[in-house]
Amino acid sequence: MRPCRFVVMSFLLLFPFALGFAQKSIDIEEIRRLVLYFEIGAGSEFTTQQQSLLYESLLSNLSNASEKVALLESRDERVPLDDQEKTSAAENIGADSWLHLVVSGNFESIGIQARCLDLLNGIIAFELDLEKEIIRGTRELGLLMWREVEDAVGDYFDRALNMENRIGDLTFQALPGTRIQGIGRGRLKTTEQGIATAQVALPSTIPFRATKPGYFPVEGQVYVDQTEKVISLEQELAARIALNVYLHNMSYPGFDLMYFFIPDTLFGRVGFLTYLVGFVLDDGDEESGSVFTGHTLNNFSLSLGFFFSDPDRPFRPYFALGAAWRLVTANGYWGLEPVAPFAAQPVLGWEYARSQKIKIFAEYAPYFYWVPERYLFDLSLPPDRDLAFLFIPRRDDLVDWAWVWEILVFNVGVRIRL
């Protein structure tokens, strides 16, 4: 294994950790921000100049539709395909509503389809389907062409801002300390009495996610159309104990018992890895004609770690830090292995599953051996290998001792919540 290959692999290994825990928030502001998606319909017979006239006259009319809405132009010439894309694009430029307007036909007979969505209230503000004829040329574009659209925008956003008067209280009943995401900019947190209340615009559909360390998150959405609404959340306690069964470097069996101080989040781990029996996938034992191998060595380990993400996520990265003691169980001697008696061991891993009960996991768990006499460790290196051990310090003329980083250590196995 070349070091550069390892670096690339490590990057790929770490890549999933960069995947985020994005929270979408919707802002409430004094003046609404409406983004315009303008589209020429398929089969239309407008010249480029006519398209420009249509767009600019539309902008001019909508800019005066209401003092309570600011019109934004989409930065992308391509109109997002569906409502979800349109909403995401609108949020990206800070808009809280969008208007998708499609014109079709030709300059004498124009079809107009308009659809406006209010992101704050989660409702469709209006939809229009119009047929227009232009008799008096471009003058009519400025005066009559967009009147219905302009009126619809003005009517709705004058009223929409007035919705401040139509605000209701949404109350969550949950375990104390539960955080609720999805309502406004910040996060709600339940009090010691297990209550959290937020004001929401009426009517609206509110998606939410309630989390509390040690409990499975509760996700859902609630439609609020009354001035008071109470939602009671049932939160399920996550697992306290888990058992790991794994293969160390695809060769030797290992077992861990995990105890979660905070269920399914913060854990302590006791592990036992044995080299007494294992199998190798290459020709290491070809002289014996068997893929099985064995060494009178075992690792006993203790570690403390935590998961980066919530228990309900299918993909959960975690980190642990601990130590391992090497135990010899040879005939005539049971005790600490004297050449490298113990090692520090960071663990970077992730687990994946659709079910909460049984998950598969993979982890990078290198050993940093403490070696009081480095030349003895040199003599203990496995024979006939392209080795992946790094001595720290590198030079053996400085000190007798060393920390030795065994670089390629991977565990793959199954984690069972008990």
Partner 1 sequence: MNKAWFPFLLLVVLSSCYFPPYEEDLSLAVPATRKMEETAFIGPLPIDPWEFEDWDIVFYPSKDALRIRTNDFVRGFMVATNDPLVRVLFVDHDGNDYRVENWNWAEYSVENFDDKDFVFRATTIIDSDDAAIDEQLGIMVFNNQTEPPFREYIIVNQYLTRTFIPMDGVDLLIGASFFHDYMDAVRLHTLRIDSGGTYFEREYSVDPGGLNPAPVPLPAALRSGSLPGLPKDINNCFYYRLPDPPSPTNRAYLSVYDRVRREYRNFSWDNSHELQVLAEMDRRIDLVLSNGWLFSREENKGYIYNGEGELINSFVMGGLDLVFEILNLDGTYRVVFTIPIWAPVRVDKNYWEDRLFFLVYWIPTEQLADL
Kindly state the number of chain residues that form the binding site for partner 1, as judged by CB under 8 A: 59
Residue 378 found at the interface with partner 1 (CB under 8 A):
yes
Q: Which of 125, 242, 406, 415 binds partner 1 (CB under 8 A)?
A: 406
Quick check: 351 and 318 in contact, CB under 8 A?
yes
Query: Could you say which of 267, 337, 351, 374 contacts partner 1 (CB under 8 A)?
Result: 337
Give, as one character, the DSSP assignment of residue 163.
G
Amino acid in position 374? R
Output the smallest distance, CB 387 to partner 1, in A: 6
Instruction: Pull the structure tokens for residue 18.
Output: 């960069």
In contact, 57 and 141? CB cutoff 8 Å: yes
Q: Which of 51, 171, 293, 309 binds partner 1 (CB under 8 A)?
A: 293
Of the candidate spans 37-45, 94-102, 166-174, 295-303, the one that interacts with partner 1 by CB under 8 A turns out to be 295-303
- Under the criterion CB under 8 A, does residue 246 sit at the interface with partner 1? no
Which residue, 217, 303, 235, 313, is CA-closest to 266?
A: 303
DSSP annotation of 225: -
Please give the torsion angle defined by the CA atoms of residues 285, 286, 289 and 292, in that order, rounded to the nearest 10 degrees. Answer: 30
From the list 122-130, 200-208, 375-383, 392-400, the region that binds partner 1 by CB under 8 A is 375-383
Instruction: Decide if residue 313 touches partner 1 (CB under 8 A).
Output: no
Range in contact with partner 1 (rule: CB under 8 A) among 10-18, 54-62, 101-109, 253-261: 10-18
CB atoms within 10 A of CB 70: 15
Q: Which of residues 40-99 bind partner 1 (CB under 8 A)?
A: none
Cβ pair 400, 374 in contact under 8 A: yes
Q: How far is the CB of 246 from partner 1 (least distance, A)?
A: 11
The DSSP string of 273-309 is: EE-SSEE-SSSTTTTTT-SEE--SEEEEEEEEEEESS
Minimum separation from the CB atom of position 320 to partner 1 (A) = 17
297 is an interface residue for partner 1 by CB under 8 A: yes
**Inter-helix orientation angle 147-161/48-63, to 10°:** 30
Segment near partner 1 (CB under 8 A); pick from 37-45, 170-178, 217-225, 282-290? 282-290
Among 40, 328, 414, 416, binds partner 1 (CB under 8 A): 328
Rounded to whole angstroms, the Cα distance separating 375 from 238 reads 48
Point out which residues bind partner 1 (CB under 8 A): 1, 6, 8-9, 12-13, 15-16, 19, 248-252, 275, 280-282, 284, 287, 293, 295-297, 315, 326, 328, 330-333, 337-340, 352, 362, 369, 375-389, 404, 406, 408-410, 412
